[in-house]
């Protein structure tokens, strides 16, 4: 037996550990002492954590060492204040301009008396005063509950740091009184200042910071727990103030070099957020002259450069939404067609356009889709938009699809939407915009195959003369009996046995031993294979005159797909025993039968090959 080998470590983890080794050697900076409790920190503590917006957590060093969150609490509390009060009310009290002053400067906007932004202490204390709750206890509890959603576990206040800051925080009290003077705070400022000290003393780890940052990167949903910590619409406001004011008076240089919204705290923590991608949390107590963690800055700078994370240096995603495009002439639905029908489809099916969309549909990616549709407008008779691989869709994309739907509808060209179940916004948007016309114009289908069949049927109805619904195929009409003489037809008929099935009945079960070939005399049947999660995929649909279940006649293997009656069905069944007997008693007829059988298999193989090469 081979000895069990341990799976290799992730290269991402190796990279973080390498950074950790490299920057652990840096000994610059001083631990903050103005809050006496903070002075006890060990300058060698150093933890790094990187968390992706898809929930992968990578940690190196002292990533589980608790410390107090300090100013990193500010953007999160700002988010809760926005949820509690709405943006308009919050903006009446707190601005959004960087100051260039130190975090604890006693400066307010001339005229309004508003603190300039929520990242300086004045703005943060005003923010904290906006947290809803009847008692000091409830308000603190609401803050702790919020942090618990971001970190994924219960958090507590480090009482000794809180006491230490409360005993020495006269400057912050002065700021509180000044805010009261300008009516930014409307009642006694002290409870709000105390609550602010408590929020700053919440105990976290670098791992917690990484997950909190990744939650902001993931539009407010904690990617590890899957829980919503803040309404998605407010994340942009939080990240905006972090981007412009998050790094004290180093904010401009930070965004220029590192290019990610960030926030640091005097205990030595830093978070950085790359929206939609990842969050970083670093902890190392020694600070530089701006009050930012020396190693924290170095780590974020290195990660940003090595991993090409600068927010303002993003790739062109314009063309990423069209995964694949084909027409109804290149690929047909699983409904098996007569020769005449197949001909019409290969000649005129080009007017059926199918777009398989993927990824994130926003203004710029949806624009590329509608531009392509417009470019092909005259040649388009019917349009299928497949959303199966679309990950997200926003309102501006919905709007473009709505406009294109109207333009096509005006010309009597239908637009079919497939796999929109996970896109409730699209349905809601179109319903609101289309009003009474919604039922008629919004045509959703469970899958492309059914939508394609719908378009094909519509095309065939317009092109081919209407045919009376087929009563019952006679033996002479079976594709399997092509070129049979009258005598052969008669002989063949004597080998068949009539069988009826109700709509919905399973005619062939997967895995069953094959005992017969079915000639479909009346009705329709579909062939399915099961898929993961209980779904099933249609492989083919047959109508009267066609043959099914014939593969087993050749290889005698157990049934590999199920066949279900779509309607009431009548079949002429040729048992495999009779199939063999026919060869003994009427070898020439059997040869003709085998030729026809080959031909039908050939058609299907060619179709499968076309599909494969098209999708390659
Ligand atoms: N609680 C600290 C203060 O107000 C937070 C400072 C900071 O982390 O920037 O002084």
- What is the tens place of the pLDDT at every residue in 111-144? 888 999 999 999 999 999 999 999 999 999 999 9
**Whether CATH 3.40.50.300 fits 13-313:** no
Q: Per-residue pLDDT for 603 more than 90?
A: no
Q: Per-residue pLDDT for 299 more than 80?
A: yes
Closest to 270 measured CA to CA, from 242, 244, 249: 242
Residue 71: active-site member: yes
Q: Phi, psi at residue 573, to the nearest 5°?
A: -100, 130
- Tell me the CA–centroid distance for residue 68 and ligand 1, in Å: 10
Please state, in angstroms and rounded to a whole number, the distance separating the CA atoms of residues 307 and 302.
Answer: 8
pLDDT at 614: 84
Q: What is the mean pLDDT of residues 279-295?
A: 96
- Tell me the CA–centroid distance for residue 78 and ligand 1, in Å: 15
Catalytic residue among 31, 73, 74, 284: 74
- Any atom of ligand 1 within 6 Å of the Cβ of 121: yes
- Any atom of ligand 1 within 6 Å of the Cβ of 596: no
Please state, in angstroms and rounded to a whole number, the distance separating the CA atoms of residues 244 and 318.
Answer: 27
Ligand 1 nearest atom to the CA of residue 196, by list position: 1
Q: Per-residue pLDDT for 366 more than 90?
A: yes
- Tell me the CA–centroid distance for residue 369 and ligand 1, in Å: 49
To test the pocket of ligand 1, the residue of 32, 34, 35 to mutate (highest count of ligand atoms within 8 Å of its CB) is: 35
Beta pairing class for 382-393 and 352-361: parallel
Q: What is the mean pLDDT of residues 241-262?
A: 92
Q: Which residue has the higher pLDDT, 366 or 476?
A: 366
pLDDT at 470: 59
Dihedral, CA atoms, 576, 582, 587, 591, nearest 10 degrees? -50
pLDDT at 315: 86
Local confidence band at 466 (pLDDT 50, 70, 90 cut-offs): confident
Local confidence band at 248 (pLDDT 50, 70, 90 cut-offs): confident
Query: What pLDDT digit, counting tens, does each position of 73-107 carry?
Result: 999 999 999 999 999 999 999 999 988 777 777 77
Please state, in angstroms and rounded to a whole number, the distance separating the CA atoms of residues 507 and 526.
Answer: 10
- Tell me the CA–centroid distance for residue 76 and ligand 1, in Å: 14
Q: What are the residues facing 500 on neighbouring strands?
A: 570
CB-based contact 391:346 (threshold 8 Å) = no
To test the pocket of ligand 1, the residue of 37, 121, 196 to mutate (highest count of ligand atoms within 8 Å of its CB) is: 121
Catalytic residue among 78, 150, 162, 196: 196
Cα 123–Cα 124–Cα 127 angle in degrees, nearest 5: 90
pLDDT at 112: 85
- Any atom of ligand 1 within 6 Å of the Cβ of 71: yes
Please state, in angstroms and rounded to a whole number, the distance separating the CA atoms of residues 241 and 118.
Answer: 7
Total-model pTM: 0.84
- Tell me the CA–centroid distance for residue 285 and ligand 1, in Å: 13
Query: What pLDDT digit, counting tens, does each position of 152-187 carry?
Result: 999 999 999 999 999 999 999 999 999 999 999 999
Q: Per-residue pLDDT for 216 more than 80?
A: yes
Catalytic residue among 71, 73, 304, 526: 71
- Tell me the CA–centroid distance for residue 514 and ligand 1, in Å: 78
Look up tokens 């800051």; give the residue.
Answer: 165
To test the pocket of ligand 1, the residue of 38, 99, 103, 162 to mutate (highest count of ligand atoms within 8 Å of its CB) is: 103
pLDDT at 391: 95
| Cα dihedral sign, 422-425-426-431 | positive
pLDDT at 467: 67
CA distances from 360 to 181, 317, 319, 479 (A): 48, 9, 11, 47
Ligand 1 nearest atom to the CA of residue 169, by list position: 10
Ligand 1 nearest atom to the CA of residue 124, by list position: 4
Local confidence band at 2 (pLDDT 50, 70, 90 cut-offs): low
- Any atom of ligand 1 within 6 Å of the Cβ of 266: yes
Ligand 1 nearest atom to the CA of residue 265, by list position: 8
Q: What is the mean pLDDT of residues 45-67?
A: 98
Please state, in angstroms and rounded to a whole number, the distance separating the CA atoms of residues 452 and 455.
Answer: 5
Residue nearest to atom 6 of ligand 1 (CA): 71
- Any atom of ligand 1 within 6 Å of the Cβ of 164: no
- Any atom of ligand 1 within 6 Å of the Cβ of 200: yes
**What architecture is the 475-615 domain classified under in CATH?**
Sandwich (2.60)
Q: What is the mean pLDDT of residues 361-384?
A: 96
Question: Which H or E run includes 387?
Answer: strand 382-393
Residue nearest to atom 10 of ligand 1 (CA): 104
Fold for domain 322-463?
Answer: Transcription Regulator spoIIAA (3.30.750)
Residue nearest to atom 7 of ligand 1 (CA): 71
- Any atom of ligand 1 within 6 Å of the Cβ of 265: yes
Beta pairing class for 506-508 and 497-501: unpaired
CB-based contact 179:147 (threshold 8 Å) = no
Residue 370: active-site member: no
Q: Per-residue pLDDT for 610 more than 90?
A: no
- Tell me the CA–centroid distance for residue 150 and ligand 1, in Å: 20
Query: What pLDDT digit, counting tens, does each position of 386-441 carry?
Result: 999 999 999 999 999 999 999 999 999 999 999 999 999 999 999 999 999 999 99
To test the pocket of ligand 1, the residue of 265, 269, 270, 293 to mutate (highest count of ligand atoms within 8 Å of its CB) is: 265
- Any atom of ligand 1 within 6 Å of the Cβ of 216: no
As annotated, the residues of the chain forming the CATH 2.60.120.10 domain(s) are: 475-615
Query: What pLDDT digit, counting tens, does each position of 467-520 carry?
Result: 666 578 888 889 899 999 999 999 999 999 999 999 999 999 999 999 999 999
Local confidence band at 148 (pLDDT 50, 70, 90 cut-offs): very high
Catalytic residue among 248, 250, 355, 501: 248
- Tell me the CA–centroid distance for residue 36 and ligand 1, in Å: 12
pLDDT at 468: 64
Closest to 447 measured CA to CA, from 548, 517, 531: 531
Q: Which residue has the higher pLDDT, 316 or 382?
A: 382
Q: What is the mean pLDDT of residues 205-212?
A: 98
As annotated, the residues of the chain forming the CATH 3.30.750.24 domain(s) are: 322-463
Ligand 1 nearest atom to the CA of residue 248, by list position: 9
Residue nearest to atom 4 of ligand 1 (CA): 121
Look up tokens 């953007």; give the residue.
Answer: 75
Local confidence band at 151 (pLDDT 50, 70, 90 cut-offs): very high
- Tell me the CA–centroid distance for residue 207 and ligand 1, in Å: 21
Q: What is the mean pLDDT of residues 519-524?
A: 94
To test the pocket of ligand 1, the residue of 41, 71, 179, 288 to mutate (highest count of ligand atoms within 8 Å of its CB) is: 71
pLDDT at 339: 83
- Tell me the CA–centroid distance for residue 217 and ligand 1, in Å: 24
Query: What pLDDT digit, counting tens, does each position of 586-597 carry?
Result: 999 999 999 999
Residue 234: active-site member: no
pLDDT at 31: 96
Query: What pLDDT digit, counting tens, does each position of 531-561 carry?
Result: 888 888 899 999 999 999 998 888 889 999 9
- Tell me the CA–centroid distance for residue 27 and ligand 1, in Å: 23
Please state, in angstroms and rounded to a whole number, the distance separating the CA atoms of residues 288 and 268.
Answer: 10
Residue 196: active-site member: yes
Retrieve residue 269's tokens: 């923590």
For all residues of the chain together, what is the average pLDDT?
94
As annotated, the residues of the chain forming the CATH 3.40.710.10 domain(s) are: 13-313
pLDDT at 165: 95
Ligand 1 nearest atom to the CA of residue 165, by list position: 1
């Amino acid at each position: 037996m081979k000895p069990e080998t341990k799976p290799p470590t992730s290269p991402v983890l190796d990279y973080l550990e390498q950074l950790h080794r490299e920057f652990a050697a840096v000994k610059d900076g001083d631990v903050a002492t103005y809050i006496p409790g903070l002075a006890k920190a060990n300058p060698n503590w150093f933890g790094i954590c990187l968390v992706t917006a898809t929930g992968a957590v990578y940690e190196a060093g002292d990533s589980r060492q608790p410390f107090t969150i300090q100013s990193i609490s500010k953007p999160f509390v700002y988010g809760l204040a926005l949820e509690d009060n709405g943006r308009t009310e919050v903006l009446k009290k707190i601005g959004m301009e960087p100051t260039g002053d130190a975090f604890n400067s006693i400066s307010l906007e001339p005229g309004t008396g508003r603190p300039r932004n929520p990242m300086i202490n004045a703005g943060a204390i005003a923010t904290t005063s906006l947290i809803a709750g009847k008692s000091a206890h409830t308000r603190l509890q609401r803050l702790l509950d919020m942090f618990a959603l971001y970190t994924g576990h219960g958090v507590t206040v480090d009482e000794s740091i809180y006491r230490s800051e409360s005993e020495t925080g006269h400057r912050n009290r002065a700021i509180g009184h000044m805010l009261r003077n300008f009516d930014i705070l409307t009642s006694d400022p002290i409870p709000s200042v105390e609550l602010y000290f408590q929020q700053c003393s919440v105990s976290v780890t670098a791992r917690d910071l990484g997950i909190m940052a990744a939650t902001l990167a993931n539009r407010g949903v904690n990617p590890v727990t899957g829980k919503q910590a803040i309404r998605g619409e407010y994340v942009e406001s939080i990240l905006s103030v972090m981007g412009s004011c998050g790094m004290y008076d180093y904010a401009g240089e930070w965004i220029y070099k590192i290019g990610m919204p960030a926030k640091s705290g005097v205990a030595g923590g830093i978070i950085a957020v790359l929206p939609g991608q990842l969050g970083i949390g670093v902890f190392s107590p020694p600070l530089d002259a701006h009050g930012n963690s020396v190693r924290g800055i170095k780590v974020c700078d290195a990660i940003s450069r090595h991993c090409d994370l600068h927010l303002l240096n993003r790739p062109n995603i314009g063309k990423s939404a069209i995964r694949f495009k084909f027409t109804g002439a290149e690929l047909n639905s699983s409904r098996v067609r007569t020769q005449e029908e197949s001909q019409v489809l290969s000649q005129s099916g080009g007017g059926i356009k199918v777009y398989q969309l993927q990824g994130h549909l926003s203004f710029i990616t949806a624009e590329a889709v509608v531009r392509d549709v417009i470019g092909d407008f005259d040649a388009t008779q019917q349009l299928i938009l497949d959303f199966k691989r679309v990950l997200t869709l926003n309102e501006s994309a919905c709007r473009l699809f709505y406009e294109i739907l109207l333009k096509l509808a005006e010309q009597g060209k239908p637009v079919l939407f497939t796999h929109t179940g996970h896109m409730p916004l699209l349905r809601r948007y179109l319903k609101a915009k289309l009003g009474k016309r919604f039922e008629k114009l919004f045509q959703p289908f469970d899958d492309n195959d059914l939508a394609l069949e719908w378009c094909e049927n519509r095309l065939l109805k317009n092109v081919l003369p209407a045919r009376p619904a087929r009563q019952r195929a006679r033996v002479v009409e079976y594709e399997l009996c092509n070129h049979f003489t009258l005598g052969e037809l008669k002989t063949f008929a004597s080998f068949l046995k009539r069988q009826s099935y109700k709509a919905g009945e399973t005619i062939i079960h997967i895995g069953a031993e094959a005992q017969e070939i079915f000639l479909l005399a009346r009705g329709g049947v579909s062939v399915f294979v099961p898929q993961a999660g209980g779904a099933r995929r249609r492989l083919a649909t047959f109508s009267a005159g066609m043959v099914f279940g014939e593969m087993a006649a050749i290889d005698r293997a157990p049934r590999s797909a199920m066949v279900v009656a779509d309607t009431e069905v009548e079949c002429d069944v040729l048992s495999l025993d009779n199939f063999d007997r026919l060869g003994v008693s009427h070898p020439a007829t059997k040869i003709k039968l085998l030729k026809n059988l080959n031909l039908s298999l050939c058609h299907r193989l060619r179709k499968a090959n076309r599909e494969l090469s098209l999708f390659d």
